[in-house]
Structure 1
């Protein structure tokens, strides 16, 4: 049974950034898979990097791309600047790949349906991109692994179930099996193909095993996960069963189990949760590690180290998920399923230290564990990955780790699938930049959408979450004097003793009386009003101020994005143009808390660089200027406008609504694109929060959308606003 220990993950992660002399993995480059498409090919086609392998010299990557039906090749001779080497058509759906020397062996699914199954194994020369051999596998393959000496391959023939048939209940024939094939003269020897029957072993669906993942140790032994069957099998070099055992189950306490609740409450219990491991990798010749994704009835939200006789040496319990929570990567909409969903796993010895790397598909992070003591692994880092890390490959000879991230959001105008490269360096961990680790209790957070600075204490900030957490609106206290910045407390915003509903908080500022003013952007189509709220130091809403009729009459969905206070006057930028605004202009709206008067000025937006829109995201008043975030809604290489401008406060003289409004002049303070590229990932969309403390230090935070169709990365960085404005 695994219980909440508030400092278990905290102490482990603190060790990662204790000293600049520490060895840490940091991302050094990202490669978007559409770069491998040929000139003239439809760039809007879905593409995906899934399982990834590396050439023996560590210079080229091979990844499977199921939507395109290809394997993609990448040159990483300079790992900080990957180069496309193009795609190779597989004539089916590639599911996995292994590389021996400069030859790739690719398992390809050619099944017509779940019953008429088929597959093939292709031998591909990655120098010439020629297919040099093809073997019929007789079923639908999943994972492939190579022997350490390159003498043979093992393929998991899954023959997966149809989840829509009979609610996906096992058995569903044909049953899966394990294939072995020898390598002869650099190619797969089809004549040596043989199969191992693994039926009758598992307690669940014994006559319908579904082999998922395979790996081979130095003794030539193969470990096989039967994911849906919750079972493990170890085979010898000839395919004989050495051992087999149930992967077992765990009982987890203090789990967040309700999906789409819009709140992070780790209070429930999950009893007898089957592990149902997906990926598996040998750590040494006697131990292997599994990523316990679950797929059928299980998913224990963690990972496990087994001895090959079935002994559980270590299980992470809830500790990995808690570390993910503290880093702001917890996927709330997956709470009732498998939470962060560990799916991929890799091992490697870097500079004498053995590591296990665990990819969490739904949290989009890779956990790095020092496994020098197999019974007590130490979590040293959480690495930001692309969306949905599916494949990992360690390259210790070059101090590199690579992730393949399968999600491609082209249909939603989002970021594309990426391959990301990390290097072990003698340097501090660059990520996370903000975390709740070290707080007195577990604090879940995400979708940070506005910042404010405490005028009495430099580096003390406040942030709010947006409507993604509609049932748990909160004000977070941040200590930005540490690296990473620390969320130290969370204050619930309440009404009548309950978490306040129908809020879309996008801005926060102090009211000078111990409480806060909040700006709610609003969504009238969802019955969420545009409004201002005054809350006291306990988070209780004491005053709600509706927008005046003159303003609401011009409303077009996108409302206030940010709030700042200048004496008795509150200033709120409207994100985008409303009905009465000239094209390319928005209002900066003023409300006098004493006189109750409303007014506004006009603000001219930059024109979008391409498609999409440009709007405002936050405002801060400091030393005679209003500082404003202006951004487009583009992501990745399409992002062009992520900037901070300022307007002199002597121009911020509001005129009455409904009449002629003065147009203010803006001065560019900082282009944020270099800051957003500093971690060598893709440029994120939502720069949402800005605060400036009394010393003129500016802080910026991005909104990670609650990790929903997002990588979950939250960037938090600072700069000297006065120095930047003078450049």
Structure 2
């Protein structure tokens, strides 16, 4: 069955079953500009920024805050280490030192090499866990543990290939690691993608008991051994072997690439985004077993929202188009609603470009099925869909080598799902619509719309790709309401939504530390925060200021900004 047909069927099934889901009322039609809820207003106030002075080199990627020591650890991929900051009582971050991950021993007898680099970090109970990638990314990586207060190395274990995102369970008893297993740069080999579940010692004093046996591996080999792969989970690209010395693994196990991990508030289940596969995996933490795998639902731009697909149309032109957005989320987060897990995804989209292989092409370069579209020639013009990058492996009519449907990278949105994979909400065109509204209101300049993250002005330059590009999402509760903070990688900044009712999310606010009045390219002074990458929400009880904080790491500007999160004065 073509992807478009099976997702139409899935959509109809979800809508017909909606009234049976006990979370809340059935969803209303998609609204592009739902107003801010009167009871849901927030103010995000910048409290301070740490600048590395390194531009467009990923010098600030993932933040990890330790409430016990007041330290903020920020992944500096450019330096291959962590920048160690401290957040003062007024919320401003200041630099203390750096923490490298090279030449560190692990429990399997290996040592992190001289080219090792840090990919991610997370803190729980005063323990800092760090994902470490070796110089050769196709070899197995490590998770290293440190005392967050003293920075003493506590030990480390070997995990899967290319450990990326990692997360503690709420009680600190386990660390879950997404081992991405990307192919080699020339796509000659492709390691297996896996998830590691690490049993963590009960206290810092007990880390002398850490052993390699604490690591259990969750893989996807069952789908190569007879377990049916759920329809809609994307497996594609060259079928190349694992690297020399690795255990053999089938094509599905090699093709699925865990990207980001989030653990539910009970600590029982970890949810892992498989970005390129456009799917979510669920892992039973205690058993270290894969319990579910489900594909994500596309955004249908012909009905769900309005899309600006061209960077050559002269201005903002959002409209319905015969194209779907494939979510392919990067960051995800999870919260509980009425006793059930609810997963929120930041639908960034991502293509594979390794060696001579690429999985995307502009619409004007494709052969389109003449009977599938009203006017193929008009559709392929630059001002229409001609410039839009779409996935080449989807929407192809069997036996005819022409595209009967079009699938763009990313949903330009965030979505909310049940733990069974039913989509409760998709923001569709809300993010772009809100930015257009702010431009019309004079709160943003016109060149803010779909701007790139390495040059100002650069308005509309990302319309043909992934638009504002939602990169990460974190969830926080403030005065009894639940909010999603969505980081936008290209235009920058964070858009805030009230998701207290997961079927009826509403826009709250948008903050952006970028200087829209400055002009220049990356490396020029005074451009402000550019390239939002990683976010962390800090509750008021853990915050040095006593109010909730939002920490934003910006990879292009190499800056980290701390925002105070509070309700506006309603006197």
* TM-score bin, normalised by smaller chain: 0.5 to 0.7
How far off its partner does 1:16 sit? 8.7
Alignment match, 1:280 = 332
Matched, 1:82 2:93: yes
Compute the TM-score of the two structures, normalised by the length of structure 2: 0.65
Counterpart mapping for 1:289-688 below 5 A: 289-296=344-351, 297=391, 298-327=409-438, 328=444, 329-331=448-450, 332-385=460-513, 386-397=529-540, 398=543, 399-408=547-556, 416-427=557-568
Report the counterpart of residue 102 of structure 1 in structure 2.
126
The residue number in structure 2 matching 1:231 is: 279
1:155 is aligned to 177
Which of the pair has more CA radius of gyration?
1
- Check whether the contact 1:255–1:270 (CA below 8 A) recurs between aligned residues: no
SS at match of 1:423: strand
Do the aligned partners of 1:111 and 1:139 also contact (CA within 8 Å) in 2? no
The structure with higher relative contact order (CA 8 Å, sep 6+) is: 2
Q: For the Cα contact (< 8 Å) 2:32–2:428, is it kept in 1?
A: no
Supply the distance in 2 between the matched residues of 1:138 and 1:275 (Cα, whole angstroms): 25
Structure 1 residue runs of 5 or longer lacking an equivalent are 35-42, 167-171, 409-415, 430-727
Alpha-carbon separation, structure 2, partners of 1:358 and 1:347: 9
Which residue number in structure 1 is paired with residue 256 of structure 2?
209
Distance in 2 separating the partners of 1:183 and 1:69: 25
Q: What TM-score does the superposition give when structure 1 sets the normalisation length? A: 0.52
Q: Which runs of 5+ in 2 are unaligned?
A: 1-7, 12-27, 103-115, 224-228, 236-251, 352-390, 392-408, 439-443, 451-459, 514-528
Q: Write 1 or 2 for the structure with the bigger share of strand.
A: 1
**Do the aligned residues in 2 keep the contact of 1:23 with 1:428 (CA within 8 Å)?**
no
Aligned to 2:196: 179
CA distance, structure 2, for counterparts of residue 90 and residue 262 of structure 1: 48
> Superposition RMSD on alpha carbons, in Å?
2.8
State the shift of 1:426 in Å: 4.1
Matched residues, number: 401
Q: Cα gap change, 1:287/1:388 in structure 2, threshold over 3 Å: closer, same or farther?
A: same
What is the rounded CA distance, in whole Å, between the counterparts of 1:123 and 1:402 in structure 2?
A: 25
1:279 positional shift = 0.8
| More displaced stretch, 103-112 vs 130-139 | 130-139
Partner of 1:623: none
Once the two structures are TM-superposed, the CA of residue 212 in structure 1 deviates from its matched residue by 0.3
Cα pair 2:33 2:430 within 8 Å, conserved: no
Q: Deviations over 1:370-400 (max 9, x none)?
A: 1111110111111114211111111122333
Q: 1:245-268 CA deviation, whole Å, 9 max, x = no partner?
A: 101212114311113554221135
Kept after mapping to 1: 8 A contact 2:32/2:429 = no
Q: Quote the Cα distance in structure 2 between the aligned partners of 1:44 and 1:426.
A: 33
How big is the shift at 1:57? 3.6
